Amino acid sequence: MVYRDVTHHQNLFWSYHASESYEAIHADLLTLTELLGGHSPSGIISDWKGSIVGGVASHFDHLPHQRCLIHVLREAKRYLPKGSSFRAVLVLREIAKSLRHVKTQKDATKWKAKLIKWETAYGRLLKEKTINESDSGKKWWYTHGNLRRAWRLLTDNWYPFFVHLDHPLIPKDNNSLEGVNSQMKRILGNHRGMKTPQQVSFLFWYLSSTRTKTKQDLKKLWAEWKS
């Protein structure tokens, strides 16, 4: 788990947990609060997993919380394949892709209007059901399950999509953190064969070294570790 200051491009804190649970987030945010010395971030951006949303609400409920639009788009594309033969799927996919180009509240209003227009044209598909005529299993299911999932993704709670419009210091995506994750995956790939405890130690060493800006800082860090 890595917590990053995207404004100054610094990794503030990191930890290792068996899972990304609410308890893990809660423990990390307690530590992060202490490290910040009573200061609060300008805002928060995350991939909007339930444990993260719950943890942030418990510790930083007064701060604006942006949902990463890259994660939204990635999930929408999974539900809405570009090779689909249904025009409804392709149109909704294009609407989802245009979300990352919203830069003003006026743009956001236009984007929502596209969703309303889509629902008027294709909304009936969201209610279509397939009847199971056999005696086993479910009696029915929604015919276009992934289309419904994509629709809920884009419409259930769109306020977190546009937090960055009112708070310029908050980016619309966490690409800064994704860059850190990519580097960690790359160096782990270059050192295959390590067991989990070794991987964790290796990554902690790597992340600690990213906090050192000079050779003198690195010497201080090494001296503290030796003691």
Q: How many separate helices (H) and strands (E) can be counted in the chain? A: 10, 6
Query: What confidence score (pLDDT) does residue 219 get?
Result: 83
189-208: pLDDT as tens digits: 998 889 999 999 999 989 98
- Which residues touch 49 (CB under 8 Å, ≥6 apart)? 20
Q: Exposed (0-12), middle (13-18) or buried (19+): which is 96, by Cβ within 10 Å?
A: buried
At residue 124, the pLDDT reads 96
pLDDT tens digits along 107-125: 999 999 999 999 999 999 9
Say how many C-beta atoms besides its own lie within 10 A of residue 126's C-beta. 16
Tens digit of each residue's pLDDT (9 = 90 or more) over 60-108:
999 999 999 999 999 999 999 999 999 999 999 999 999 999 999 999 9
Q: Nearest to residue 72, comparing CAs of 183, 172, 176?
A: 172
**Spatial CB neighbours of 181, under 8 Å, sequence gap ≥ 6:** 2
List pLDDT tens digits, range 128-176: 999 988 777 788 889 999 999 999 999 999 999 999 999 989 999 999 9
Q: Average pLDDT of the chain?
A: 92
Tens digit of each residue's pLDDT (9 = 90 or more) over 2-48 = 999 988 888 999 999 999 999 999 999 999 999 988 888 899 999 99
Q: What is the pLDDT of residue 137?
A: 75
Cβ neighbours, 10 Å, residue 207: 16
Q: Using an 8 Å Cβ cutoff, are 207 and 188 in contact?
A: no
**pTM check: above 0.75:** yes
